[in-house]
Amino acid sequence: MRRPLFGSVRSRATLAATLVVAVALVAAGTAVLLSLRSNLVGQAGTEAEHTARAVATDIALKRPDEPLSVDNDEPVQILDEQGNLLAASEDLERISGTGSEAVRPQPRTSPGTADSGEDPGDDADDADDDSAGEALEPGEISEHTSFTNGTATLDGESDDYRFAEVHVEVEGRGQLTVYAGAPLSAEQSAVRTALTVMLIGFPLLLGVVAGVTWLVTRRALRPVEGIRTEMAAITASEDLARRVPVPDTHDEVARLALTTNETLAALQASVERQRRFVADASHELRSPIASLRTQLEVGTAHPELLDLDGAVQDTVRLQDLASDLLLLARLDAGERPGDTRFDLGALAREQAEGRTGVTVDAGAVTVAGSRAQVGRVLTNLLDNAGRHARSAVTVTVERQGEWAVVAVADDGDGVAEADRERIFERFVRLDEARSRDDGGAGLGLAIARDVAVRHGGTLTVGRAPAGGALFELRLPQAR
């Protein structure tokens, strides 16, 4: 089957890293270009203002009868209050973006008329003209400077300019306006160069990022591929004793490998336990079946020798063992105990009724769960105590905090401390010499603990005051 283009973690990680870097580069590049352009335009404006103020200072120092002239390599205009051009740069051929597009001085006209045909209030730019009406003293230059962008042609060469507008009061001539420009070619050239570098460098940088990310993710995911390969081999061979390699990186991949090995160990233990269970169950079933078959065969050949009591006992053993195995199978399958509320003290008295040598001291304690399963636990505990007690078994039921506690004690030999956990394993009988008829199959205590755990409780064994075994069942009280 063909895998999708970005179906692997490496591909998605590489694509994500490349996209993130691309967005970051575009944002950073845009910010750099805008900052560069702003700085260069600001420098051009400063240069234009310096030129305009120098021309304004020169005008302010001239005598009223002295003609105005401009000797400057950059585009400069001097306009009167009516917008008439009084002087301009000698090589100026065309200009836009200032107060007038005239490039040659115009004859003076009387106030209120303008031969240029332009409205003095009609500006060619969007500059701030608040200083146009500023009251200035003769020889004083306005502190306010307005800036506009435009174009100009000098000596046959056209360029974009940043124009500075400065007002100066000249005695005998009124308030004049000086426009001086500084070229923006440096700014445009720098921006174009930076943009070209970015257009060439960014793809190369993205390629490097993609390649490095691809290699890094390949190295980082190599242990994962090793884990996957080993898991595939384990699945194919069904050998649960094998384990996946754990990288010496102490990171998430190493923890994944450790968790995988723990899962495999738990699965192996479960499978082994299931195999032992099946083997032990087969062994336990074989004996009563063989005995029953022998008795039936003898009874068939010699009816007078048929041992009906023995056949009934073997049948009962088979029935009890099948019932135990069925209950264990349901518990292993995760059967929920239910939430029926019942009196644990009354249930203990009911299970102890009719048993010889059993004393019950049971108060009323309500618990929730399966009454039949909890009753089975009490039956198994009482059967076990009856088999090992010398003469007496004591049952108590009481409250201890939030717990309902059932204690079953006998006056037998007790359970050695080393065996107090082993007796809860399935098919375990401490006294192998005991007959199967008396000792059972070794499932009673295992069933009792499983039921207790699934009811949210515990089942433990200790030493009774009389020296025998003390089994203590703890179940949460019903709320």
> pLDDT for 139-172, tens place per residue?
888 999 999 999 999 888 899 999 999 999 988 8
Rounded CA-CA distance 58/144 in Å is: 18
Q: Same domain, yes or no, for 458 and 344?
A: yes
Distances in Å between the Cα of 352 and the Cα atoms of 356, 384, 463, 470 are: 9, 13, 21, 16
Residue 104 lies in a domain: yes
Same domain, 66 and 207: yes
**Quick check: is 449 in a domain?**
yes
H/E element, 314: helix 308-332
The least confident of 120-129, 160-169, 171-180 is 120-129
Residue 224 lies in a domain: yes
Span of 35-44, 81-90, 123-132, 147-156 with lowest mean pLDDT: 123-132
Predicted confidence at residue 1, as pLDDT, reads 46
What pLDDT score does 314 carry?
76
pLDDT per residue over 347-401, tens digit each?
999 999 989 999 999 989 999 999 999 999 999 999 999 988 988 999 999 999 9
* Count of structural domains within the chain: 3
- The kind and range of the H/E element at 393 are strand 393-400
Residue 141 CA to chain centroid, in angstroms?
66
Q: Check which CATH number belongs to the domain holding 358 and give it.
A: 3.30.565.10
At residue 114, the pLDDT reads: 39
Last residue of a domain, one of 288, 313, 332: 332
- Same structural domain for residues 224 and 271? no
Question: Residue 347's CB: how many other CB atoms inside 10 A?
Answer: 21
**Is residue 64 over pLDDT 90?**
no
Q: What is the mean pLDDT of the chain?
A: 84
pLDDT band at 325 (very low <50, low <70, confident <90, very high): confident
Give the containing element (helix H, strand E) for 92: strand 92-96
Query: Confidence class of residue 130 from pLDDT cuts 50, 70 and 90?
Result: very low
Burial (CB count <10 Å: 0-12, 13-18, 19+), residue 93: middle
pLDDT computed for residue 4 by the predictor = 54
Res. 273 pLDDT band, cuts 50 70 90: confident
Q: Please state whether beta strands 366-369 and 340-343 pair in parallel, antiparallel, or not at all (unpaired).
A: antiparallel
CA distances 267 to 192, 241, 280, Å, are 67, 10, 20
Say what the pLDDT of residue 111 is.
44
User: pLDDT class for 300, splitting at 50, 70, 90?
Assistant: confident
Answer whether 162's CB lies under 8 Å from 184's CB.
yes
Cα separation of 407 and 469, whole Å? 10
Residue 240 domain flag:
no
* Measured distance CA(182)–CA(184) in Å, rounded: 7
pLDDT at 270 over 90: no
Looking at the structure, do residues 198 and 295 belong to the same domain, yes or no?
Answer: no
- Pick the residue with more confidence: 265 or 3? 265
Least confident of 5-14, 40-49, 253-262, 336-345: 5-14
Residues 406 and 284 in one domain: no
Domain assignment of residue 3, yes or no = yes
pLDDT bracket for residue 51 (50, 70, 90): very high
Whether 239 is covered by a domain: the verdict is no
- 11 in a structural domain: yes
Residue 449 has pLDDT above 80, yes or no: yes
Q: Looking at the predicted structure, is the pLDDT value of residue 133 above 70?
A: no
The residue range of the domain holding 75 is: 1-108+122-228
Q: Which of 332, 348, 374 is the last residue of a domain?
A: 332
| 221 or 88, higher pLDDT | 88
pLDDT over 90 percentage in the chain = 38
- Judgement on whether residues 275 and 371 belong to the same structural domain of the protein: no
Average the pLDDT over 73-94 and give the result. 89
Q: Give the residue carrying structure tokens 């020798």.
A: 305
CB atoms within 10 A of CB 149: 18
d(CA 403, CA 81): 103
Task: Give the model's pLDDT for residue 359.
Answer: 93
Residues 289 and 349 in one domain: no
pLDDT at 120: 38
Please check whether residues 30 and 151 belong to one and the same domain.
yes
**Per-residue confidence (pLDDT) for residue 110, from 0 to 100:** 46
The answer to whether residues 358 and 396 belong to one domain is yes
Domain end (from 175, 193, 228)? 228
More confident residue, 283 or 456: 456
Both tokens of 185, joined, read 């070619």
pTM: 0.50
CA 331, 336, 340, 344 torsion-angle sign: positive
Res. 123: pLDDT tops 60: no
Q: Residue 432 has which token pair?
A: 């192998």
Q: What is the pLDDT of residue 119?
A: 43
CATH code, domain carrying 271:
1.10.287.130
Check whether residue 298 and residue 164 sit in a common domain: no
Residue 187 lies in a domain: yes
pLDDT digits (tens, 9 = 90+) for 85-122: 988 988 889 999 998 999 888 665 544 443 444 443 34
**213 in the same domain as 65:** yes
- Nearest Cα neighbor of 362 from 398, 407, 394, 400 is 398
Q: How far apart are CA 24 and CA 399, in angstroms?
A: 67
Looking at the fold, whether 128 and 270 belong to one and the same domain comes out as no
181 pLDDT higher than 50 = yes
CA distance 380 to 406: 13
